[in-house]
Structure 1
Amino acid sequence: MRARLLPLILIPLLMAGCATVSTTPAVTPAEQAAGALLDNGKYREAAQAYLQIANEPRSAVRDRALVHAAEAFERAGDGAAARQTLAQSNRRKLVGEDAFNHDLLNAQFLIEDGRGRDALALLGQNPGSVPDAIRWHSLRARAFTAAGQPFDVAIETAALLQPNAPAKERAANARNVERLLAGVDNGTLSARSAALAGNDPLYPFAARELAKRGLPLPHPLDRSAQVRTQAFPPADSDGYRPPLQLAVLLPSTGSLAGAGAGVRDGILAAYYAETRRRPNIKFYDTNGTAAGAQSAAAQANADGAQLILGPLSRDEINAVFAQNVSGAPIIALNRGVSAPPPGSISFALSPDDEGLFAADRLANRGQLKVLVFTQRDDGGQRALAAFREQLRARGGDVVGEVVVDDGIVDVGPLLAAQTGAGHTAPTAVLLVLKAPQARLVAAQLKVSPFSVLPRVSTSLILNGANARQDVELDGIEFPELPWLLDRRPDLIDADALAAELGTARGPSQRLFAFGMDAWKLAAYLDRLGTDPGYTLRGATGDLRLDSFGIIQRDPSWAVFSGGRPRAAPDGGLQTNAASATR
């Protein structure tokens, strides 16, 4: 059977005693045509086509066609029709893939009804026989969530951390594993961790949580693949252990030269502020191109670099990682399409991460029904996509989306369209907008039915900031760099640097902070890789290394007050009413 017929639930699992795939009836031309509709996103048309096949007299594939029709209805967002259609299919007449497809869709409906334990009875296949592991583990994670078993949810989520999965998915799943384990009590954490094999994808996360709590590890953690610092000089007592020769790959020419300058100056500022032994440092121009990055990496290795910082763009990183040259470990300053090779890591300031931060901020406070205001901006759309996925993973959803284009001055009609029959009442608002559009929306929210809802944003809201006009934004929270909120007194003062260096103020200020943290990662790479409980307090946030070589970052949170960002209080999200009385 063609795999495209049910891309979301097609999991041809073979359980002991079950019929083999070869017993499944051949796909008919009519099913192929219906499958083509499904492939092209014409879900309702596909559902009707499958229903027509099922209703043909003496149809040999009636029950299978009903399963496909149910899936098409579900993808069209018509859950009621999907359930009704699946109920008409006789599970006992299905074999092979068709039987499993029926079980998986039925399990999904049980999960939606909060019957996680019943759903698990349909998801007990041998994981080694599951070709589409992502869908299967995802359903099991949802079932365990509904059953209230967080450690088992963490097991299934960790199983999704495949090296070839998209970088943003790996980052989100890793954060969710950490969050889930943080909610497990000491006894359960210790006992269940002891039952994990050393090569289980969950074990590095469990070991980190155990180390954070001061609990013993049941067996050693193998981090040898993550760290290649054996040739570095001995570490200081705090873990400071930079290499002897450090190469930095950044664009000093080409279209990315401005971004490269901000990162470069941040690296140098932190480098010269260090009073202990520093490595010899050499910069290499990548010209912002894949070929330039490959050439620079090859030259750095030929020059004897023990560690490489950079390159900066995704294309450059993909090219360098694909070069497969045995050389110095790399701290890539962005994320590529795949996980870093063993011994290297990646560090990024990503719009996708900002979506994750915002979703977790709201979910942690039980604000799970969110009205979103957004604009057609690439970074904003990436943040929104990540926000939506993470909020759904936390049990919430986006209940409305309002697009605010540059020419819009009155969002009243758009707000009115989000109220009334058929609309779920939101419990919070997310603004994925630049400052001018955010001010427009914030002012009109005050006289809308949503005036008292908590409001969060991404840091996109700082684009176009104006302290005098931004009083309209008072009460809105957003993820911010702790360095800019005076929460890192051990670092060079941000205002003092801004007075001296153009790259330390304005649009490049965040890249400057990013460069400062890049140097700290180079200096503490060894401890990050060998101490599972270690967190590096950086200019951009609290940094830690996950088991896939990705630096996970936790930012600080700011709130607009008097038109300026201030450190947000720990006591929860601000509302318009609260900000009015401050």
Structure 2
Amino acid sequence: MPISRLLTSALLLSLLFTSLLTGCGQVVTRPAASKVEKLQQQADLLETNGDYQGAANLYLARARETVPPERDTLQLLAAGSLVRGGEPSRAASLLDGMTAEQLTDRNRTHYTLVRAAIALAEQRPDTALTLLKDVPTSGPFIADYRRLRAQARSQNSQYFQAARERILLDPLLTDPQAQQANRRATWEAVNSLTDQELQTLRTAPPPDIMGGWMELVELTRLYLQQPDALADVTPHWQQRYPGHPASGSFLEDLLGTMRAAGQPPAQIGVLLPLNGKLSGPAQAIRDGIIAAYYDTPEGGLKPQVRFYDSGDTPATALTAYQVAVTNGAQIVIGPLRKEALEGLANRLPLEVPVLGLNRLAVQTHVNPALYQFGLAPEDEAREVARLAWRRGHSRAVAFLPETSWGERVYGAFAAEWESLGGRIMEVQRYDPGKADHGPELKNLLNLDTSKSRHQKLTQTLGRKIAFEPRRRQDADFVFLAASPRQARLIRPQLKFYRASDLPVYATSRVYSGKPDSSKDADMNGIVFCDTPWILEQRANWDHLQQNINEFWPETAVRYARLYALGIDAYRLVPYLGKLDQGMFGAYHGVTGNLSLSGDGIINRTLRCAVFRKGLPVLLDLDTTDTQAAVTR
């Protein structure tokens, strides 16, 4: 029976927009005038029905009949409605005619809050945090101040700080629904912390509220497959943290979600092309599944796992699927080939759910029993775009190989970058078989244009003049698509062509996965995103990594990310139902923080690092980073 899809993403989207200056009247924006108050009640009703444009029009119609400061208040209320309705650009246009100096103190603070909300809607959390520094930390605006800061911290992946803000917000809320939504958001933030962060950041003893949230998340992960055991230990947790916000209805919902998700399947079928061109990657995924199976904690449930050769065609993969179902599989992992996955996607109905190990080329339809999970390079390119945007960049140049992989990666990066509001100033392609990329880099950096201007000036003046080539100044970073060998050549050439101060962002392919400070010294300063399996060291992974290195030493590094894919594919199976239940925003896997979208795609949030002294250093641990706050 297909696993239900009651998605966490719907909750997260609701929290993003409904919590931006929620209601714009419950805390921040209730002027004394009774007419405005009645108008606001009408607008709130429109927003409840999803008519944000109607609410904004209601405010604006009244604003045209009034004078400041009431007119300013109404325009700010209209802007808030537009932000919540997903139109931050229109909201910003309403603020263009305002200057903070001309507003009353109350409207000035409201103005700043709306600008911060617009920045968050445009994925500019650093801008929002800067704006919020000017907001008083007491008085009628404090709840919205805390809420917006929490959202900004979450957008910046600063989940510990986001949870802290949510905890401070909790006692300020009087509406039970708003309070429950805030507690769910607190849970989402704490649940986004890694296991290592949960251990190292919990420093205060009970009954510390933050510590209580962190311990509850740890218990939930420990008893993920044992909801009854979790119910048995929560009374002790409640004794340790009396009066904790998670007690009561939230804890009841959590336990109900755990139980509703059901037990993991008794049997898993795995479809992989164990012979042929993809046999190497397929065997690494298989061995990752085996390693995860034997790494199951004592007392954890171990389903039967049976492997099937999916062959080279969609037809053979479909046959393997049918055999697996006949043999009793309750869920199938695989296939790996995109064409085989497309063949299964077109089969309606699927007798048992499928956790595919690839991504459909075109999402033309959604099979409710199909989940798509893989290491798509497009995911990494989009992550890099979001990272560069969060760090304040706005104008990119792109350097990519003349290959289908290069075009795929660039296409994903460009689409995400431009959707955020970024601009691409130049794109150059290079031959990955060559070592000298001088001509292409000169074009990328406009050094050829600089030289041409010098030649024309020399001809005009009729004499030689001193000349220093100058690279383009309209770009603030390079998006680089390259292998380790190519990147080791390209980065020094960028420096040679006067771009040493231009930040470089890349996907995981830039890193071999094996630390080598000698070979990678030339890549210092390159920022890239990769799986936690590659970039992090966690105590609970040590034994697993040691086993893989011991049993498969020839392929442990070469196929490291594919071993990680196998590990997460196996471990994700019992979690799929819980992701569907709406309480669990992400599964913290070795391939990334995994979340489920409405079309059954498993999205990965990666860790990002920068090369320092030839070694990758996690960005949040890099004390020498000078590019974290670029002025846009």
Query: For 1:211 and 1:279, how far apart are their aligned partners in 2?
Result: 29
Match of 2:386 in 1: 360
Task: Tell me, in whole angstroms, the C-alpha distance in 1 between the residues paired with 2:613 and 2:122.
Answer: 45
Q: Distance in 2 between matches of 1:237 and 1:368?
A: 47
- The 5-angstrom pairing of residues 237-252 of structure 1 reads 237=230, 241-252=263-274
Residue of structure 1 in register with 2:72 after alignment: none
Letter in 1 for 2:523: L
Q: Distance in 1 between matches of 2:435 and 2:626?
A: 23
Contact 2:269–2:305 under 8 Å retained in 1: yes
> 1:42-441 alignment to 2 at 5 Å?
143=90, 209=185, 212=188, 237=230, 241-274=263-296, 275=298, 276-336=300-360, 337-338=362-363, 340-417=366-443, 418-419=445-446, 420=450, 425-441=474-490
* TM-aligned CA distance change 1:436 to 1:233, over 3 Å: closer
Give me the whole-angstrom Cα distance separating, in 1, the residues matched to 2:369 and 2:285.
23
Q: CA offsets, 1:194-221, max 9 Å, x none?
A: 89xxxxxxxx9x997575269xxxxxxx
Distance 1:573 1:362 in 2: 17
What whole-Å deviation, never above 9, does each CA across 1:161-198 have from its counterpart, x for those lacking one?
xxxxxxxxxxxxxxx9x959999x989xx999989xxx
- State how far apart, in whole Å, the 2-side matches of 1:493 and 1:573 are: 32
Instruction: Please state how far the C-alpha of 1:410 moved relative to its aligned partner.
Output: 3.6
How far apart are 1:372 and its partner, in Å?
Answer: 1.8
Tell me what 1:536 maps to.
587
Moved over 6 A (4+): 145-157, 180-183, 190-195, 232-235
Tell me what 2:540 maps to. 490
* Counterparts of 2:282 and 2:175, CA distance in 1: 46
CA distance in 1, matches of 2:323, 2:285: 21
TM-score by length of 2: 0.55
The number of aligned residues is: 403
Compared CA separation, residues 551 and 341, structure 1 to 2 (3 A): same
- Provide the C-alpha distance between the structure 1 equivalents of 2:367 and 2:343, rounded to a whole number of angstroms: 12
Query: How far apart in 2 are the matches of 1:191 and 1:345?
Result: 39
Contact 2:88 2:118 in 1 (8 A): yes
Q: In structure 2, what is the equivalent of residue 518 of structure 1? A: 569
Tell me the SS of whatever aligns to 1:331.
strand
Distance 1:489 1:384 in 2: 36
Name the aligned partner's letter for residue 518 of structure 2.
R
C-alpha separation between the residues in 1 aligned to 2:156 and 2:620? 24
**C-alpha distance in 2, partners of 1:291/1:441?**
43
Report the Cα distance in structure 1 between the residues aligned to 2:442 and 2:582, rounded to whole angstroms: 53
Contact 1:454 1:574 (8 Å CA) reproduced: no
Q: Compute the displacement of 1:409 (Å).
A: 3.7
Partners in 1 of 2:176 and 2:279 — Cα distance? 47
Deviation at residue 448 of structure 1 after TM alignment: 3.0
2:601 pairs with 1:550 = yes
CA distance in 2, matches of 1:499, 1:427: 44
CA RMSD of aligned residues (A): 4.4
How far did 1:403 drift?
1.8
C-alpha change, 1:396 and 1:279, in structure 2 (3 Å) is same
Shift of 1:551: 1.3
Cα deviation, residue 250, structure 1: 1.2
Question: Does structure 2 retain, via aligned residues, the 8 Å contact 1:528–1:545?
Answer: yes
User: Sequence identity, in percent?
Assistant: 29
Can you list the C-alpha shifts for 1:285-337, whole angstroms capped at 9, x where unaligned? Answer: 11032111111111222222111111112111111121113411111111123
The letter for the 1-side match of 2:324 is A
| Cα displacement (A) at 1:451 | 1.0
- Give 1:384 shift: 1.1
Distance in 2, matches of 1:568 and 1:347, equals 26
Give the Cα–Cα distance (whole angstroms) in 1 for the partners of residues 118 and 314 of structure 2: 41
Change over 3 Å in CA distance of 1:145–1:258 after alignment to 2: farther
Report deviation, 1:416.
Answer: 3.3
Q: Is the CA contact (8 Å cut-off) linking 1:473 and 1:560 kept in structure 2?
A: yes
1:33 corresponds to? none
Deviation, 1:424, is: 5.5
8 Å CA contact retained: 2:308, 2:324: yes
How far 1:504 sits from its partner (Å)? 4.8
Relative distance call for 1:433 and 1:208 in structure 2 (3 A) is farther
Amino acid at match of 2:380: E
Change (3 A) 1:326 1:457: closer
* Alpha-carbon shift at residue 564 of structure 1 (Å): 3.4
Alpha-carbon contact 1:345-1:551 (below 8 Å) kept: yes
**Paired position in structure 1 for 2:610:** 559
Matched, 1:461 2:485: no
Shift of 1:554: 1.1
Shift of 1:423: 5.5
- Which amino acid counterpart does residue 424 of structure 2 have in structure 1? V
Alpha-carbon distance change, 437 to 358 in structure 1, aligned in 2, over 3 angstroms: same
- Does structure 1 conserve the Cα–Cα contact (< 8 Å) formed by 2:291 and 2:544? no
Question: For structure 1, which runs of at least 5 residues remain unmatched after alignment?
Answer: 1-116, 125-136, 158-175, 196-203, 215-231, 577-582
Structure 1 residues 314 and 462, CA, compared in 2 at 3 Å: closer, same or farther? same
Q: For residue 323 of structure 1, give the secondary structure of its aligned residue in structure 2.
A: coil
Give 3-state SS (helix, strand or coil) of 1:327's partner: coil
> Is the contact between residue 497 and residue 504 of structure 1 (CA under 8 Å) also seen in structure 2?
no
Deviation at 1:236, TM superposition (A): 5.5
Quick one: structure 1 residues 143 and 343, their matched pair in 2 at CA, closer, same or farther if it must change by over 3 Å?
farther
| 1:237 counterpart SS class | helix
CA–CA separation in structure 1 for the residues paired with 2:621 and 2:407: 28
Match of 1:549, as an amino acid? G
Evaluate the alpha carbon distance shift between residue 488 and residue 289 of structure 1 in structure 2; reply closer, same or farther with a 3 A threshold: farther
User: Equivalents in 1 of 2:188, 2:522: separation in Å?
Assistant: 41
Q: Is the 8 A contact 2:479 2:505 kept in 1?
A: yes
Q: How many angstroms does 1:340 deviate by?
A: 4.4
* Higher-helix-fraction structure: 2
Structure 1 residue 154: Cα displacement: 10
Secondary structure of the equivalent of 1:372? Answer: strand
541, 559, 568: which one aligns with 1:508: 559
1:144 is displaced (CA, Å) by 5.7
Contact 1:311–1:317 (8 Å) recurs in 2: yes
Change (3 A) 1:258 1:150: farther
| 1:201-252 residue CA offsets vs partner (Å, 9 max, x unmatched) | xxx9x997575269xxxxxxxxxxxxxxxxx996763969421111111111
Partner of residue 473, structure 1: 523
Q: 2: distance between equivalents of 1:286 and 1:211?
A: 40
- 1:374–1:403 contact (8 Å) kept in structure 2: yes
Q: Which residue of 2 aligns with 1:75?
A: none
Q: Distance in 1 between matches of 2:509 and 2:282?
A: 20
Per-residue deviation at 1:527?
A: 1.9
For residue 76 of structure 1, what is the aligned residue in structure 2?
A: none
Distance in 1, Cα, partners of 2:282 & 2:376: 16
**Residue 558 of structure 1: CA displacement?**
2.6
**Counterpart-to-counterpart distance in 2, 1:146 and 1:345:** 41
Q: Which residue of 1 aligns with 2:46?
A: none
